[in-house]
Structure 1
């Protein structure tokens, strides 16, 4: 169980992870560099050559995830953490599906992180008691 302050840190941490991992997907040029790097690693499960429509989908994903990450870094609300957990479980499901159908094994690393951040963001958050707030000199619960 998280305190509200701890949970905000989890939401912000997951957002920083997303921004760092996804930023290279946001433009055609950074994605080309990332694709070249991953291809050079020669991991099991081929990383296919991408056609313009594939690059577009990667760029759209990268752009949306980066914007979503910046929102959560700037304002790590509990509600955003809950929505992010749902998105992570969806991403994990599609990553698992891709792995079962021959996707590169590098995806397994990202699958583990998606599940870990998802679980961390679905754990309960302890609501401060009114008595605890009064002892801290406030009549209002601590803001998320």
Structure 2
């Protein structure tokens, strides 16, 4: 898949739709309370611990994250660019790292569901950029050998 092709832009949009659906509930205090309760129920259904009750600071951080991700998703839906895929892939690497850190620290196992999707999104969006970089370095090396 080429970063400049229509298939890659569809991937960028699909990633934005996923973000929109998954994070919309985090954007307001009222919807976050519903999402928190649903995730807490899922966690206990899967044999995990009960979630602590949300407090004002936790709600604030959830709302900030939800709001920023919604704006980022809207940008990628309305004006998808290859560069947006690169940056979104990098953000997904960061999200995956912090989710992994939270899991190591004892976060509920339900977080694995999100970690797997974030990691897959990072791989899908970053792989074409890595291939482009490797091809560019190979061409530069070929040119250096020919000149020498």
Which TM class, normalised by the smaller chain length?
A: 0.7 to 0.9
Q: How far does residue 119 in structure 1 lie from its aligned partner after superposition?
A: 0.6
Instruction: Point out where structure 2 has 5 or more consecutive residues left out of the alignment.
Output: 133-148
Query: Is it true that 1:66 corresponds to 2:87 in the alignment?
Result: no
Match of 1:20 in 2: 21
Q: How far does residue 19 in structure 1 lie from its aligned partner after superposition?
A: 0.3
Aligned with 1:71: secondary structure?
Answer: helix
Q: 1:99 to 1:46 in 2, by over 3 A?
A: farther
Q: What stretches of structure 1 move > 4 A for 4+ residues in a row?
A: none
Match of 1:75 in 2: 79
Distance 1:6 1:60 in 2: 31
Q: Is the 8 A contact 2:13 2:77 kept in 1?
A: yes
User: Relative contact order (C-alpha < 8 Å, sep 6+): which is higher?
Assistant: 1
Q: 1:3-50, CA deviations, whole angstroms, 9 ceiling, x for partnerless residues?
A: 611000000000000000000000000000111122223141332222
Q: Is the 8 A contact 1:47 1:103 kept in 2?
A: no
Match of 1:56 in 2: 60
Aligned with 2:107: secondary structure?
Answer: coil
Q: Is the 8 A contact 2:95 2:118 kept in 1?
A: yes
Aligned with 2:54: secondary structure?
Answer: coil
Q: Is the 8 A contact 1:46 1:103 kept in 2?
A: no
TM-score between the two structures when normalised by the length of structure 1: 0.83
Distance 1:10 1:122 in 2: 11
Matches within 5 A, 1:104-119: 104-119=108-123
Instruction: Point out where structure 1 has 5 or more consecutive residues left out of the alignment.
Output: 128-144
Q: Is the 8 A contact 2:93 2:118 kept in 1?
A: yes
Match of 2:135 in 1: none
Distance 1:123 1:39 in 2: 34
Match of 1:142 in 2: none
Name the one with the larger helix percent: 2
Q: Is the 8 A contact 1:84 1:121 kept in 2?
A: yes
